[in-house]
Amino acid sequence: MKASDRKLGMDRDIGRRDFLHDLSLAALAVALPAGSRAEPTAPRPLPGVPAGYPPTRTGMRGSHAGAFETAHALAREGKVFRDPVDLDEEYDLVVVGGGISGLAAAYYYRKRFGPDARVLILENHDDFGGHARRNEFHQGGAMRLSWGGTMNLEYPMFSDTVNALLEELGVRIDELLEGYDFRYGNGPKGKPAVYFDPETYGRRELIRGFSFRGGNSDGLDDKIDRFPLSEKSRETLKAFYARRENLFAGRSDAEVERILSGVSYTGFLKKYGGLTDEAAELFVKTTHGYWGVGADSLSAAECIGAGLPIMHLLGSPALSGSGDDDPGGEVAMFPDGNASLARLLVHALIPAVAPGSRAGNIALARFDYAKLDDAAHPVRLRLNATVVAAGNDDGGTRVSYVSGDRLLRVKSRHTVLACYHSIIPHLCPELPEPQKKAQKYQVKRPLILTNVLLRDSVAFDRLGLSGAYCPGRLHGALWPVKGVNTAGYRHGWEDDGAVPVMFWGSVAPPDPGAPIREQHRASRALLQSMNFEDFEREVRTVLDGMLGPAGFDVREDILAITVNRWPHGYAYDYLDLWDPEWPEGQAPHEIARRPFGNIAIANADAGADAYTHVAIDEAWRAVGELGG
């Protein structure tokens, strides 16, 4: 191990107990000579937590080892899976994908066809929920929760369908709002900041009380003067933030919209805002976690919605539409993000997993995973099962999947594909060519959420920080996760004990000028090439540089690291600079989701938007398209 890594604490026994989870155990067994295969060292048990409980697993999570290899063999290598073993199991519905859309589809199916309908949900990961992933920590004593993917309930955007589902599950938005005091870096005990790291900028600078999104406090010029940029770049930034004018006074709304939709945000900053290339580059990663796309590939119009400063050049006294550093907008939240919603759906489908659970205590519920796939229940959820084929057959459907080293097949009356659109042409090669082409158009955007459990929040408090943007680092932003006191869970800002810190972002494409879908594919390849040590080194380097001067000990004060890696992250939504306008009914997602015999298609891709409520709406539509 390098001395620099040892200095960062990478020799510490944290995450090492889960390292073998990052590898293919099957591959490990093959690599060892006969007679020398030993069991991996058992993980240290956590008090009161069952061994192997998926929400508590640390290390490389999200799209973890074992979850994607079979699908890659099918889609990338063209592997043919022949001669499946037919199981003595028959269902009314098989759902491919145990994310929120798949779980909602199972729920709606039983509402439509009756509670006796037998349903099998097949999920390739070792946990359900899809991107709604629960990260649960006990290493610091009291349970700490964070989210590993989708986190917000954008309730003002909910359809009647989504509102009805939440009501049936017992979720009350008003109660969630009462306990919600998390603001993406604007916590009550500190202020947002920007962190310039020495590896990128030549020296360390932590600028407290500054946000690229707006809401900057007094002394703005003095703060910008500390930026490790050229003098010209600093002067253009100061002038940009000081301006208040209407650049397009006298022009029609349509003309202004055309201008704002036809230029990238960073292009706008340079052409209309007067920034240098160096200064404009600072804004690129502000949208990485929020959108999965850099601000150099989003239009100026789109970045108005993302809360970036622009309004002060369009006749408004405010810098941005939001006026603060909250990229979440008007939302409600569970302490584990929308994993609680997934858990409520699973509980509604299989009550035995957590008897007595309800919306008011779901965050505290301990799920019995052994009950998920129980033949005694009408609904079964089968984890670690990767579907490789789905087709119509004899008035119903047949679905083949790989579990371990076995290729199995089940029969059902109906199938709902609640998986990525891009895999469907490989599962259903008999689909019409235009439909398969449309499915391949939608390239998901890579996403990273890395949760680091710290021993305490003392260093953050000493520095007066509630979060930071990191324009030079892998993750564009980080925040301590406190203040989501909902669903029975409590972790207030006054609690100085162990705290998860969420690192949020994506992987910058190697060629940001390439077509957007090529950017996504290139970023995905980079993300998949990274191992756990790459992420660990990154977060330790950032925390040491940012918090070290306030007494943070990078070797001793990190208790756990969970990397939620999503190479196929956000659903592809259409962007001003990259996608044309299609006639109604002819957009790729509308063609891609067309039913095919007894097979219907759900998931967020089918709505071309990366929102939980979209995934639910698409599940409702898909079930409604199935024949009686």
Query: Is the pLDDT assigned to residue 39 strictly greater than 60?
Result: no
For 238-354, list the strands marked E by DSSP: 332-333
Query: Is the pLDDT assigned to residue 342 strictly greater than 50?
Result: yes
Write down the mean pLDDT value for the chain.
92
Query: Is the pLDDT assigned to residue 43 strictly greater than 60?
Result: no
Query: Is the pLDDT assigned to residue 237 strictly greater than 70?
Result: yes
Position 137 scores a pLDDT of 98
Selected residue with higher pLDDT from 143 and 181 = 143
Query: Is the pLDDT assigned to residue 618 strictly greater than 90?
Result: yes
Out of 32-36, 305-309, 385-389, 555-559, pick the least confident.
Answer: 32-36
Which value, to the nearest 10 degrees, does the dihedral of the CA atoms of residues 475, 476, 481, 485 take?
-120
Pairing state of beta strands 406-417 and 396-403? antiparallel
48 confidence band (pLDDT: 50, 70, 90)? low
What is d(CA 19, CA 23) in angstroms, rounded to the nearest whole number?
7
1 confidence band (pLDDT: 50, 70, 90)? confident
What is d(CA 553, CA 295) in angstroms, rounded to the nearest whole number?
34
Concatenating the DSSP letter of every residue in 489-513 gives: ----TT--S-EEEEEEE----S-TT
Selected residue with higher pLDDT from 7 and 612 = 612
Average pLDDT over residues 134-158: 97
Is the distance from CB of 106 to CB of 121 less than 8 angstroms? yes
Per-residue pLDDT tens for 72-113? 999 999 999 999 999 999 999 999 999 999 999 999 999 999
The gap from C-alpha 601 to its chain's centroid, in whole angstroms, comes to: 21
H or E element in which residue 207 lies: strand 205-208
The residues that bridge with 451 in the sheet, in sequence order, are 502, 562
The gap from C-alpha 352 to its chain's centroid, in whole angstroms, comes to: 28
What is d(CA 591, CA 582) in angstroms, rounded to the nearest whole number?
11
Query: Is the pLDDT assigned to residue 41 strictly greater than 60?
Result: no
What domains lie within the chain, and their CATH numbers?
Answer: 1-34+132-161+179-211+326-371+443-570 (3.90.660.10), 69-128+379-437+588-625 (3.50.50.60), 222-313 (no CATH)
What is d(CA 192, CA 207) in angstroms, rounded to the nearest whole number?
9
34 confidence band (pLDDT: 50, 70, 90)? very low
Selected residue with higher pLDDT from 628 and 323 = 628
Is the distance from CB of 135 to CB of 336 less than 8 angstroms? yes
What is d(CA 162, CA 185) in angstroms, rounded to the nearest whole number?
29
**Helix%, strand%, coil% for the chain, nearest 5:** 35, 20, 45
CA angle 550, 554, 557 (to 5 degrees): 85
Query: Is the pLDDT assigned to residue 30 strictly greater than 50?
Result: no
What is d(CA 114, CA 131) in angstroms, rounded to the nearest whole number?
28
What is d(CA 565, CA 177) in angstroms, rounded to the nearest whole number?
29
Which value, to the nearest 10 degrees, does the dihedral of the CA atoms of residues 166, 172, 173, 177 take?
-150
14 confidence band (pLDDT: 50, 70, 90)? confident
Average pLDDT over residues 339-351: 99
Query: Is the pLDDT assigned to residue 198 strictly greater than 90?
Result: yes
- Range list of H helices, 37-99: 69-75
